[in-house]
Structure 1
Amino acid sequence: MTLVYLFFPCLVVGTGLARAMSATELVDKSNELLRGQSSHARVTMKIDTPRWERTLEVEVWNQGRQRALMRIQAPAKERGNGTLRIDKEIWNWLPAVERVIKIPPSMMQASWMGSDFTFDDMVKADSVVKDYTHSILEEKKEGNRTVYKIEAIPRPDAPVVWGKVLLTISEEEGRVLPVQEEDYSERGEHMRTIRFSAVKELGGRVIPTKLECIPHKKPGQKTTLLYRQFDVDVSFGADFFGLSTLQKPLQ
């Protein structure tokens, strides 16, 4: 669900307004933080397991909530691999075998490039908003910020994997920021935690520049995303989000 959080611009909200927002509005503002109407980002993805480590350099483009493109820049053996989303359709491009693979709905919870983030995390950015109902479980002051604990329960027949999501969201100095996401199975098992940290200005926006995804069923394993570049209000050509761009050789 989270990349989801991965690509969105900061919406500045007055402190008084943030306190008056509903649980769903808080989730929506938090979810919008790293994407926006259009954005471009460069991120480093580091995958750590007890047996091996792997680092990917990824370039990401987003337009609204329905279009996203990701291309791997490094390492060399995976350079050019990519994922494209247009509305509800998703494709993978594997240049080594010159194949475009359409991702079926049954594969949305599969690992994206061997990481602890899924295809659903990487491209289904608004699922946590539209596929769940939300309620505030706790609201407390921590210094100058207000911290909300929000429970998200899937709507009937929603195409989601989690039986419950707990979101920690803060409001400080007029900014709404994600702090943590905890994902639970339909049987109530705590499956993974995503932590947002290293909040700083990047591309003129204040955002969490570090995301850590920790799978609780895989001891010693985690995936870390680090934002190196983040730009919003980016202009794209009419045909930018298409299969031709996905397959275009990288310069």
Structure 2
Amino acid sequence: MIPSKYPVISLLLLLANFGLGFSQEAKEIMRKADEKMRGKTSEAEMVIRTTRPTWSREMGVKTWMKGNEFAMILIQSPAKDKGTVFLKRKKEVWNWLPTVERTIKLPPSMMSQSWMGTDFTNDDLVKESSVLEDYTHSILGDTTVGSRESYVLQLIPKPETALVWGKLIVVIDKKDYLELHTRFYDEDGFLVNTMTAYDFQEMDGRLIPTRFEMIPQDKKNQKTEIIYKSIRFNRPLEDSFFTMDQMRKLN
């Protein structure tokens, strides 16, 4: 009697669905963490502090974001950068330079470059890529950060996407879905940057990290911090706000 092949097929389907379930669960965890800091809309004021071995500087920044498709970033200080604006509309990113009154469209090749001389890339700040749609998600395990029990997720770029990072390892708190720690790897699997969240406070009715520290792996005594001064979530913000005309008017 020839054994039936159907139990084998059923087992393969079961394993495939099992893996798919874990992938969907991992994506849902990432979605909750992303929504925690983003909301449907957000308007924030922050300080970005860049530290180098021989100098440091601070920028005052205001941001407006709507979902995953729209973002506006206005530099308020120092004086030499005041009025510089970055605009994201879906997959397009624009930069307004008031000193020369010129608008520049940033090509995808510039997304991996430093944003305003910091340790964040253009993509990290402007979010051209989507942590939800452009990556495949999986759960690697559990860990504890301080007293917070957390998930460890791995994000791998989808084959059809050309992204800055080759892999992300993200630690997310199980209770409040706070993104506590992220490691950024290049395409060869080498660690490039590590971002850690600190100073958890309630702002506009939700608990969030109010300071993020990005440290490059191979550069001593170098880091960039983002410190939130205020943030408001889920206030009305029209798509029409995110235009090049509005970008110039912010000045």
| TM-score with structure 2 setting the length | 0.85
Aligned residues with identical type, % of pairs: 40
Unaligned runs of 5+ residues in structure 1 are 1-20
Q: Give, as a single letter, the amino acid of the residue that structure 2 aligns with 1:134.
A: H
SS in 1 for 2:131: helix
Q: Is the 8 A contact 1:196 1:210 kept in 2?
A: yes
> Residues 249 and 150 of structure 1: is their aligned pair in 2 closer, same or farther, counting only changes over 3 Å?
closer
Written as runs of structure 1 = structure 2, the 5 A alignment for 1:47-126 is: 47-124=50-127
**CA 1:43/1:125 → structure 2, altered by over 3 Å: closer, same or farther?**
farther
Measure how far apart 1:140 and its partner are.
4.4
* Mapped partners of 1:114, 1:61: distance in 2: 21
Alpha-carbon shift at residue 51 of structure 1 (Å): 2.5
How far apart are residue 144 of structure 1 and its match? Answer: 6.5
For 1:143 and 1:216, the matched residues in 2 are separated by 22
Equivalence for 1:167: 170
Paired with 1:141 and 1:217, the residues of 2 have a C-alpha distance of 26
Shift of 1:153: 1.6
Partner amino acid, structure 2, of 1:219: K
Give the deviation of 1:38 after TM superposition.
1.1
Q: Which moved more, 1:225-234 or 1:148-157?
A: 148-157
- The whole-number CA distance in structure 1 between the counterparts of 2:164 and 2:146 is 36
Give the letter aligned to residue 215 of structure 2: I
Amino acid at match of 2:211: K
With over 3 angstroms needed to count, the CA separation of the structure-2 counterparts of 1:32 and 1:245, relative to structure 1, is same
Superimposed CA distance per residue, residues 38-66 of structure 1 (whole angstroms, 9 cap, x where no aligned partner): 11000100000112211000000011111
In 2, the alpha carbon distance for the partners of 1:125 and 1:149 equals 24
Aligned CA distance change for structure 1 residues 193 and 143 (closer, same or farther; 3 Å): closer
3-state DSSP of counterpart to 1:47: strand
| Cα distance, 1:69–1:142 mapped onto 2, change above 3 Å | closer
- After TM superposition, list the pairs within 5 Å mapping 1:203-222 onto structure 2: 203-222=204-223
Query: What is the rounded CA distance, in whole Å, between the counterparts of 1:140 and 1:224 in structure 2?
Result: 24
Superposed CA RMSD:
1.8
Secondary structure at 2:73's aligned position in 1? strand
User: Would you say 1:223 and 2:209 are equivalent positions?
Assistant: no
Unaligned runs of 5+ in 2: 1-23
CA distance in 1, matches of 2:225, 2:39: 22
The structure-2 alpha-carbon separation of the partners of 1:95 and 1:141, relative to structure 1 and needing over 3 Å to count, comes to closer
Counterpart-to-counterpart distance in 1, 2:105 and 2:245: 14
Rounded Cα–Cα distance in structure 2 between residues aligned with 1:117 and 1:153: 19
Amino acid at match of 1:85: K
Alpha carbons 1:66, 1:87 under 8 Å: kept: yes
What amino acid sits opposite 1:133 in the alignment?
T
* TM-score, L = length of structure 1: 0.85
Partner of 2:240: 239
Amino acid aligned to 2:79 = A
SS for the counterpart of 1:80 is coil
1 or 2 for the larger relative contact order (CA 8 Å, sep ≥6)? Answer: 1
- Mapped to 2, the partners of 1:54 and 1:144 lie a distance apart of 33
8 A Cα contact 1:91 1:100, kept in partner: yes
Alpha-carbon deviation of 1:96? 0.7
Counterpart of 2:177 in 1: which secondary structure? strand
Q: Give the equivalent residue in structure 2 for 1:190.
A: 191
